[in-house]
Amino acid sequence: MTTVAPGTTALDRDWWKTATVYQIYPRSFADANGDGMGDLPGITSRVDYLAALGVDAVWLSPFYPSALADGGYDVDDYRDVDPRLGTLADFDTMAAALHAAGIKVIVDIVPNHTSNAHPWFLEAVAAGRGSRARERYVIRDGSGAHGAEPPNDWESLFGGSAWEPLGDGQWYFHHFAREQPDLNWEDPEVRADFRTTLRFWADRGVDGFRVDVAHGLVKDLSEPYAPWREVAETLRADGSHPLWDRDDVHEIYAEWRAVFNEYDPPRFAVAEAAVHPSRRARYADPQGLGQAFNFAMQEADFDLADFRATIEAGLADVEVTGSTTTWLLGCHDTPRVATRYGLPLAAGERAQQVARQWLLSDGRAPEVDLALGLRRARAAILVLLALPGSTYIYQGDELGLPEVGDLPPEALQDPMAVRSSTEKGRDGCRVPLPWTTTGPSLGFGSGGSHLPQPASFAAYAVEAQEGDPTSTLSLYRQALALRSELNRGPELHWVDAGPEVLDLERPGGWRCVTNFGPRPVDLPTGRLLLTSGDLVDGRLPADTTAWVATS
């Protein structure tokens, strides 16, 4: 396996700074063996689709052996492939096919926690109190008589106590599901083992890593413990939170950077770090991970002030980090954008809040205007793709898929839903993709689909959209192709176009104009390159974006 590419140019090294990255949730992308679960050969079979879409890279959510207590983010073995998803040989075949198509490969690294079936955890359970094996996890004595009560009142992000008993008076800590015990990053063996994992995948030709919960690894569990009501609010600007975003976490990433730099080009990393915006720069430090996700765009409403403020903040971030920012409308943890933008909002309500209330707490289903949501989602992606930096596209958004808000309760898999009688969780954005308009699981595979697809998905199928120049898939393809020609240099200038229009200009006279108001507006003079919807008498209607070449 080659890890060194002779003659690498600066452009090769910096590919990620402006990349369009397509997020694949492997279990729901394409199923080659007909068992109802997507797999790596399924991805290989769809490389032509990804190449035609025009993305620069794919990021694969975890495909490692896992009992799937949290969709694969509960990892049993970091250096293998889940047998239901394929083999290491299948991974190599897939990576080679993607690389041959000019598409880079990013894998997900989950360092905050293992699964409870990881050999380390099984050993820690068996080895008992005071054992070396217990040092690899965050384990403490319980409180009360014989340690029968948890060490403190801290709660898990998925609900319930953050502590589980080990049966001998000791308890292990888990930020997420109880099947996801948190690792102890003060332990040198944990640190060394993850460096081995990074090299394992980098040696296999992986181009980069998405680092899950990057801000959670280092914890201060010194006593006395702060009460949960103080700890529950996770964002602090001063690094003083006992569980999140502690300064020392960057020592780990400096060690990882040394590993990344063993390769030519250096391996890339992007941090998933839900931190106070003022502290995001640390994760994007070139001496650390190098790039940090900016989730602000997926929190924003389809609203001019929101978009403008979000873009300005993202660009200001770049001034501090010297990296580039990331733009995204969705991911495997967020209600689909085409639905969010079609939700009815009362004055003062935010779409993300309303979506969460509906999807995460089994509230009454609102009347979603899917046509409006899709029109706005199409307008929004043209804005994102016209921005400097890197854009992440969640699988299925290029088809305009809506959230599946009415999955039957017995079909739900997300631990957020499984652990609660009221929450629906995140499965609604993880329903397998429709490839064909008919057939078992709409071309996802020859068998069923691990989450049921609604009949309405047929209309969104790739097959239905491919030959239609007005489809959302065609819009994405055209936009990605144009972006790769037009995106030159990081500059962005705002053009003042009044209170209802977002108007920005990029080098070479590339203008991106979005009408957030109710009435059609005039377009700038120039050559019309692309619009997210039809013009009305030559003017740009509501909820529509146009790209115009002005020079």
**Is the CB of 78 or the CB of 460 nearer to ligand BGC?**
78
**Is the CB of 213 or the CB of 540 nearer to ligand BGC?**
213
Question: How much is the CA Rg of the chain, to the nearest whole Å?
Answer: 23
Select which of 76, 179, 272, 397 is catalytic.
272
CB atoms within 10 A of CB 418: 16
Binding segment toward ligand BGC, per CB under 6 A, in 67-75, 161-169, 310-318, 529-537: 67-75
**Is the CB of 25 or the CB of 263 nearer to ligand BGC?**
25
Interatomic CA distance for residues 436 and 105, integer angstroms: 26
- Please say if 212 is a catalytic residue: yes
The conformational region for residue 102 under phi > 0 = left, psi -120 to 50 = alpha, else beta, is: left
- Smallest gap from residue 512 Cβ to ligand BGC (A): 29
The residue from 213, 214, 360, 429 that contacts ligand BGC (CB under 6 A) is 213
Give me 131's structure tokens: 């054992």
Q: Is the dihedral of CA 131, 134, 135, 139 positive or negative?
A: negative
Q: Interior CA angle at 287 toward 281 and 293, to 5°?
A: 40
Select which of 56, 90, 212, 397 is catalytic.
212
Stretch 161-180: interaction string toward ligand BGC, x if CB under 6 A? ---------------x----
- Which one, of 123, 130, 127, 45, lies nearest residue 90 by Cα? 45
Please report, as a single letter, which amino acid is at residue 49.
Y
Q: Is the dihedral of CA 274, 280, 283, 284 positive or negative?
A: positive
- Please say if 485 is a catalytic residue: no
* Residue 272 found at the interface with ligand BGC (CB under 6 A): yes
DSSP state of 426: T
- Which one, of 97, 110, 107, lies nearest residue 42 by Cα? 97
- Smallest gap from residue 88 Cβ to ligand BGC (A): 22
| Shortest-Cβ-distance residue relative to ligand BGC | 73
Stretch 357-386: interaction string toward ligand BGC, x if CB under 6 A? ------------------------------
The residue from 77, 135, 333, 463 that contacts ligand BGC (CB under 6 A) is 333
**Is the CB of 333 or the CB of 362 nearer to ligand BGC?**
333
DSSP secondary structure, 57-86, as one string = EEEEPP-SS---TTTT-S-S-TTS--TTT-
Return the residues of window 68-107 that contact ligand BGC according to CB under 6 A: 70-71, 73
Cis bond upstream, residue 150 (ω within 30): no
- Smallest gap from residue 280 Cβ to ligand BGC (A): 15
- Smallest gap from residue 241 Cβ to ligand BGC (A): 17
- Smallest gap from residue 24 Cβ to ligand BGC (A): 14
Give me 506's structure tokens: 């990029």
Q: Supply φ then ψ for residue 416, to 5 degrees.
A: -60, -35
Binding segment toward ligand BGC, per CB under 6 A, in 65-73, 164-172, 304-312, 453-461: 65-73
**Is the CB of 212 or the CB of 427 nearer to ligand BGC?**
212
Stretch 458-477: interaction string toward ligand BGC, x if CB under 6 A? --------------------
- Smallest gap from residue 206 Cβ to ligand BGC (A): 18
- Smallest gap from residue 394 Cβ to ligand BGC (A): 11
Interatomic CA distance for residues 500 and 399, integer angstroms: 27
**Is the CB of 190 or the CB of 374 nearer to ligand BGC?**
190
**Is the CB of 56 or the CB of 272 nearer to ligand BGC?**
272
Stretch 277-316: interaction string toward ligand BGC, x if CB under 6 A? ----------------------------------------
DSSP secondary structure, 479-517, as one string = HHHHHHHH--SS--EE----TTEEEEEETTTEEEEEE-S
- Smallest gap from residue 468 Cβ to ligand BGC (A): 33
Torsion of CA 382, 386, 390, 395, to 10 degrees: 10
Please report, as a single letter, which amino acid is at residue 237.
A
**What does DSSP say about strands 20-24 and 390-394: parallel, antiparallel, or unpaired?**
parallel
**Is the CB of 73 or the CB of 120 nearer to ligand BGC?**
73
**Is the CB of 174 or the CB of 483 nearer to ligand BGC?**
174
Interatomic CA distance for residues 403 and 112, integer angstroms: 28
Torsion of CA 297, 219, 155, 364, to 10 degrees: 10
Q: How many residues bind ligand BGC (CB under 6 A)?
A: 10
Catalytic sites, residue numbers: 212, 272
The binding site for ligand BGC (CB under 6 A) comprises 70-71, 73, 110, 176, 212-213, 272, 332-333
